[in-house]
Chain A
Amino acid sequence: MNDLGWIDAVVAGVRPQVMGALLRYFRDLDTAEEAFQEACLRALRTWPQNGPPRDAAAWLILVGRNAAMDDVRKRARHTELPDEAELSDLGDAEASLADRLDGEHYRDDILRLLFICCHPELPATQQIALALRIVCGLSVGQIARAFLVSEAAMEQRITRAKAKIGNAKVAFETPGAAERAERLAAVAAMLYLIFNEGYSTTLAEAEARAPLAEEAIRLVRLLLRLFPTEPEIMGLTALMLLQQSRAAARFDGDGNVILLEDQDRNLWSTSDIAEGLALIDKAMRHRRPGPYQIQAAIAALHARAECAENTDWPQIDLLYANLERLQPSPVVTLNRAVAVSKVKGPQAALDMIEPLGARLQGYFYFHGVKGALLQRLDRNDEAREAFRRAIALAHTPAEAAHIRQHLDRLSS
């Protein structure tokens, strides 16, 4: 067993809690990060001998806080604090003190830490980069690889993002219920962004980007442990797990996208599906539906179907109708049209999406769906035209290749 690797995992596991607490003490990201780094260095020195302390988070918080304060005191020629060898056998009394110090706060600490990263002035990619760096502790190199930019460029992006939030005021007082709910919603949206960055990808990028989806799932599980009664957080966790369950089935050997209905369902992860279904079950009991829960419920219907033909399309159509009501958007209507085409046929679906043309004309997926519907109605010239537009708008070669297959089938 490579002990340092396992110790890294322990440190990574408690990182959000420790960083959140240190940020509350120092009210400054850079100081908190330095204190955390120092605590980690000391952990790597002492933990391999005796194993990690039972409460690794409390240890790192105390050592990190002391190290940073020690620094200040040394400069002021004051006495040093006891060294970490003594701290590493934190007595039960001290451990429970640390617990009381931090246990009450740590939920809001972690939420604040995440919330800082989703500052509205930061563009989405900067929010994601910052969260991955500060909360997850991914290296700048790892993040740069995921975004296909150089390490220097990513370093600069993160420094700029930090400067921007450094100037912004973030409340360090314990938030009230309304503010907490607001923070939770912003954080949930950011976590879904991180997940999607890791998920909507091509096979070639999959390896570099997969950690994003994994980190998003780790963080959303953490968020759900902190807010165990929030149905939307259950829904978001379920949604991510159910989408992630199909990761191994999404590309063929040549890197071509395989659509959900053509995927080999034996490749879907049964444990991800089991966990996702369990969570959506729990969420439904609250009878407070929200967009994440509905999307998860749709994903759950796909997961429950043993083969594509057994998909419960009428139910999916209903769920999309609910989603349209809660969160009206042409993209949701477009997705609903796919369900409608299965239930009522291509003409009904085409009638539904035609009014969206003005708003979605720059959207790859719109022309792809439209082409497929026209093709089913034997309006082949119009279908060809739609497919050509889709190819022109494709973001990845895999998307374009997928549409080209349709075109080829039309010509033959």
Chain B
Amino acid sequence: MLYAILCYNSEDAIGSWSKEQHAETMTRLHKVHEKLEKQNRIGPVARLLPTTAATTLRKGREDVVIDGPFAETKEQLLGFYIVDCASLDGAIEVARDLAKANPLTGAYEIRPVAQLHESHLPTEKKPAA
């Protein structure tokens, strides 16, 4: 079964990490990624730019384009993983590993995936360009 693990955290807290703290966290997260890669269980992974870069299209009688994220909450959606797990327990286990790699704050929403479309992006497509 495929699960999406949606990562929420406080942008204030993350924005205050030092370079060393960032690097430390990324190293720990990479270890979690590697483990999943070896087991062939990891699908698309995305880290999103800060919510200040977000734009929301709100439907109505006329569509409105709004600056900012969909929801104004203390913890924001900052990224997601798609992982293959035998059961919910397995998905919770992955979320726990991610949580351990990430210090103190944050939350992970585990959502079973109904459909996953094949990626048609050219493989060299890099997010930054």
Q: Identify the A interface with B (CB < 8 A).
A: 1, 3, 5-10, 12-14, 17, 51-52, 54-57, 218, 221-222, 224-225, 228-229, 234, 237, 270-271, 273-275, 278-279, 282, 285
Contacts and interface: CB of A to CB of B under 8 A. Distances in A.
B74 A237 contact: no
A275 B128 CA distance: 8
A270 B128 contact: yes
Contacts of A282: 53, 55, 67
A305 to B, nearest CB: 12
B18 interface: yes
A52 B128 contact: no
Question: Which residue among B11, B105, B126, B127 has the maximum number of chain A CB atoms within 10 Å of its CB?
Answer: B105
A52 B104 contact: yes
A274 B53 CA distance: 10
25 contacts: A1-B103, A5-B21, A6-B103, A9-B13, A9-B16, A9-B17, A10-B10, A10-B13, A12-B16, A13-B12, A13-B14, A14-B13, A57-B12, A221-B11, A228-B68, A234-B67, A237-B52, A271-B128, A274-B128, A274-B129, A275-B53, A278-B49, A282-B55, A282-B67, A285-B65
A237 B51 CA distance: 13
Given A218-B16, A285-B65, A225 B51 contact: yes
A269 B31 CA distance: 24
Interface in B49-108: 49-53, 55, 65-68, 74, 103-105
A74 B68 CA distance: 45
Interface string B1-19: 0000000001111111110
Interface of B: 10-18, 21, 24, 49-53, 55, 65-68, 74, 103-105, 126-129
Nearest to B55: A282
Contacts of A7: 104
Q: Which 7 A-B pairs have the closest CB atoms?
A: A13-B12, A270-B128, A228-B68, A12-B16, A13-B16, A6-B103, A278-B53
A271 B128 CA distance: 6
A9 B21 contact: yes
Given A7-B104, A270-B128, A275 B49 contact: yes
B15 A6 contact: no
Given A7-B104, A218-B16, A279 B53 contact: yes
B57 to A, nearest CB: 12
Contact of B126 (A55, A270, A278, A279): A270
B52 A10 contact: no
B85 to A, nearest CB: 26
B11 A225 contact: yes
B18 A274 contact: no
Contacts of B66: 229
A6 B52 contact: no
Contacts of A228: 52, 67-68
B10 A13 contact: yes
B15 to A, nearest CB: 5
A13 B103 contact: no
A217 B104 CA distance: 23
Given A10-B104, A13-B10, A14-B12, A274 B127 contact: yes
Contact of A218 (B15, B49, B65): B15
Nearest to B50: A221
Nearest to A275: B49
A224 B69 CA distance: 12
Nearest to A6: B103
B104 A6 contact: yes
Contact of A13 (B13, B24, B53, B127): B13
A279 B55 CA distance: 10
